Structure formats: C-alpha cells, structure tokens
A and B are shown apart, each in its own frame.
Chain A
Amino acid sequence: MLRRLLLAALLISLSACASWRGPGSIDWPEDQPTVSVLEAVPFFPQTDAHCGPAALASALGHAGVDAKPDELADWVFLPERQGTLQAELQSQARQRGLIVYHPPPSLDAVLAEVVAGRPAIVLENQGLPRRPIWHYAVITGFDLDRGVLIQHSGTEESTTLPLHRWQRQWRWAGQWSMVLIKPGELPASDRADAWIRALADFEEQAASQKHAKAVHDSWLATTERWPDQPMSWFGLGNSAAAQGNEDLARNAFRQSLYLAPDHAPSRYNLAQLAARSGDDCRALELIEPLLVNEQLGSRADRLKQQLFSHHAVDCPPR
C-alpha cells in the first residue's frame, strides 16, 4: 500500500516537472539582459532556524545598512515557532531605514529588481503544499540562457538552482518577495499602487526626522513617474507639509483633487491647511461636502466645530 502511494506521489511530482515549458516561458522584455548577477551581496550562513535574520542581513548589507543575523534575530525571530514571519522582516527593514516594496507576484518582476541592483528576499516552500517547510532565501542573480537562478540560501553562498524547480517552491509559498529600496529611489516595476503603499508605510512607520528629506524626495520622484495618480500628489502634499512647505503642499493636494474631484482626503487636508493659515471661510467651504462623507464625516465635523469654537465664523455668501 505504502509503496503504491509513494509511486503515485513520485509520478505526480514528475508530471509537474514535465508540464513546465522552460525558461523561455517567462515574459522577459527583449531589451533586458538574460544574465545578471549582483556581485558582493553579503552572505551570512544560516544557523539553526535563522534563515529570516540571515536573509534580512544580506539584503540590508547590500543596501548599505550593517546588521548581523544574531542581532536581527532579537527583532524578527519567534522562538516558539522556530521561524520568522514576513510581517516582521518588513517592519524591521523599515526600522533600519529602507522602504519595503513587494514586486508583483511574477518571476519577471522579481528579476527586474535584480537587474536594477536589488537582491530579492523570497519565501520558498521546500516541502509540499499540504506539508510546507518555509524558507527564506535571497536571489542575487540569474542566467536565463542556462535556466538557472543564483541565490544565497541557508548555508550555501551563491548557489545555483534550476528555475523550474525554484518556481514550484516559490509558487507553493504564494509567490511572495520583497526588495529594499533606499529613500529617493524608485522600484523597477511599474506598479504605482504597491509602491505608494510601500512609501506611505515607510513614512508613517519609520517615523524618524532623519528620513524626512529623503521621503520627500521619494514623493517628488513618485509624482514625476506616476503623475496621473492622485495618491502620488496626496503623498507629496503630506511630505511637503511635514517639511514646512505649505505652498507646495496646497498645490499638491489641489493637483490630486484636479485629477480626482471626489478625492476626500485631499479635500480634507486642504481644509486643514486653510484652517491652519487662518482662512476659516475657505476651510468651511472645503469641509462642507465632507460632512456627509462616510469615512471622513466625523473628522470633518470635528474641524467644523473647531472653527466655530474659535469665534463665530461669519463668511460672505458665495
């Protein structure tokens, strides 16, 4: 009985290999190199179950942030789980001053980041879909002509493995990857929403004045690359306000309202800026349509009360 089961399992795994169509099946642009290897990505051989800290130390080190796996383990390792959660790799990378970006879940998006000079931390399932063995590795290069991937993994430095085998392990782990982006830089892939979220999360969670200028530069670069996105301008508005540049902030919020006339957050922040500069009538005018807004209604109402508590606002009829 056992023998028959094992044979069946073996046949299933063989057929999975056979159905793969080779490295040519990835959607790889003509103008991109088919071979790319990042030299000198720091390698830290994993000890115990510390592949998370080791992978994070590699990616951080490549981005110019020195950290040792042992020290990182205090921040990302869960002793009772004998492993590291994705969320903690993300939050810890942010704490160390880098923006955490998730490329779209496709091989070409991950490889594009490698070409752009960023090693990618990936989650692999080295077991089976129903019996997972989770593992983090760092992709440092690839050779599509030979159909191989190069990665730091476990105790092996720059180890080469067939793309088709890796793709299965990656697919069984949900095709998750993360790259660390220095403030001021932009990701390789053209995915505005994921990037804007990554930058906003960094801005809010890293919460350090040290990065404020660089975050502002990142938002400026974001509006240049994705000028059609209201949230690009909204983000720029906030970072400009944080820099004390209220003129730029106002213009940015206006631009996002111009692109999306119903953009309630932009309207709300414009009202706040108007109130801050003493233009109570303008603030009231802006806030009025928001009073019935499902998400921002109570905040808008609070601002209105605040304006009336200063003094009786007597605005000219419009």
Chain B
Amino acid sequence: MKTVRRSRLIALLGLFLLPLATFNAQANLLTTQEALQLDNTAAQQVEQWLLRDDVAEQLVELGVDPLLASQRAAAMTPAELAELAERIDELPAGAGVIEVLGITFLVLIVLDLIGVLNIFGR
C-alpha cells in the first residue's frame, strides 16, 4: 500500500511536468481515443496516470519483472487499465486444459458412480 501511495506521488509530480513533455504539434488536438471516452469526467482522465502505475505495481505483485511491468502497463488503453486496476483478481486468466490430476479424479468418480470401485465409502 505504501508503495502504491509513493507511485501516486510520483505520478502527481509527473502531472506538473506533463505540459513540457507533450509539447508538440499534435498535442492540442483531441485524439479519437480521447473523444470516445469523453463520458468519463475530467477527474477520471487525470486518474489514468495514476492507474498506469497502480496496474504496473499489481503486475509486479503477480510475478512480472518490474522493468517489463511498466512497459506492459504503458501498452494498455485507458479502458484496459481501468478494468485491471479495478478487478485484476477476478478477471479470467486463460491458462490451460484440465490437468492430469483432474482427469484422474474424474475417472475415479465415474468408476465409483457405476459401482466398479468404492472409494468414497458409503
């Protein structure tokens, strides 16, 4: 939690430096992505900068190399960041087919069910 708070502080500092960093010809046009998410209030849009750091930290907690984690968070859209920041633990993480252990268990259950074995002791 402490580290999250520190990252928020750094992100806030970053906000003050932002006008310097994004000074180029394109910066003053509203991008198409921004226009599509205008329903978010301005306050939520400021949050984007904090979200990115929060998500990076969560990725690190889930075992990602810290250097890669910030790049992975940087590659996400505001919508993806918001989703991960809010409920990364509930989101499906596609992994794999039923492992051997599971299949063995199923076979035992079926054998028990049709009366070949009696493992569950009735």
A interface residues (Cβ-Cβ under 8 A, vs B) = 2-3, 6-7, 46, 48-52, 55, 74-75, 78-88, 90-92, 94-95, 123, 125-127, 132-136, 153-154, 173-174, 196-197, 199-201, 203-205, 231, 234-235, 238, 241-242, 264-265, 268-269, 272-273, 276, 295-296, 298-299, 303
Contacts and interface: CB of A to CB of B under 8 A. Distances in A.
Contacts of B84: 85, 87
Contact of B75 (A92, A123, A200, A234): A92
Given A199-B32, A296-B30, 19 more contacts: A3-B120, A7-B113, A80-B61, A80-B62, A83-B92, A83-B95, A85-B93, A87-B91, A92-B72, A135-B95, A135-B97, A196-B36, A204-B32, A264-B38, A268-B30, A269-B30, A272-B30, A273-B29, A276-B28
Contacts of A48: 96
Nearest to A136: B94
Please indicate which of the listed interface residues B30, B32, B42, B59 has the most CB atoms of chain A within 10 Å of its own CB: B32
B47 to A, nearest CB: 15
A94 B88 contact: no
A78 B59 contact: yes
Contacts of B15: none
Given A91-B72, A91-B80, A204-B33, A78 B91 contact: no
Contacts of A85: 84, 88, 91-93
A55 B94 CA distance: 10
Dominant secondary structure of chain A at its interface with chain B: helix
Nearest to B109: A6
Given A78-B64, A79-B62, A265-B38, A87 B80 contact: yes
A265 B38 CA distance: 9
Contacts of B63: 78-80
Given A153-B97, A201-B33, A295 B62 contact: no
B31 interface: yes
Given A85-B91, A136-B94, A79 B75 contact: no
A83 B96 CA distance: 8
Contacts of B120: 2-3
A115 to B, nearest CB: 25
B10 interface: no
Nearest to B79: A201
Contacts of B75: 91-92, 94-95, 205
Contacts of B117: none
B96 A272 contact: no
Contacts of B30: 265, 268-269, 272, 296, 299
Given A91-B75, A265-B30, A268-B30, A84 B93 contact: yes
Contact of B72 (A50, A88, A199, A203): A88
A83 B75 CA distance: 19
B83 A173 contact: no
B68 interface: yes
A272 B34 CA distance: 15
A49 B77 CA distance: 25
B9 interface: no
B104 interface: no
Nearest to A88: B72
B31 A295 contact: no
12 contacts: A7-B113, A46-B96, A82-B93, A82-B95, A83-B94, A87-B84, A92-B75, A134-B95, A196-B32, A203-B33, A272-B29, A295-B42
Given A87-B80, A154-B96, A78 B35 contact: no
Interface in B63-83: 63-65, 68, 72, 75-77, 79-80, 83
Nearest to B39: A295
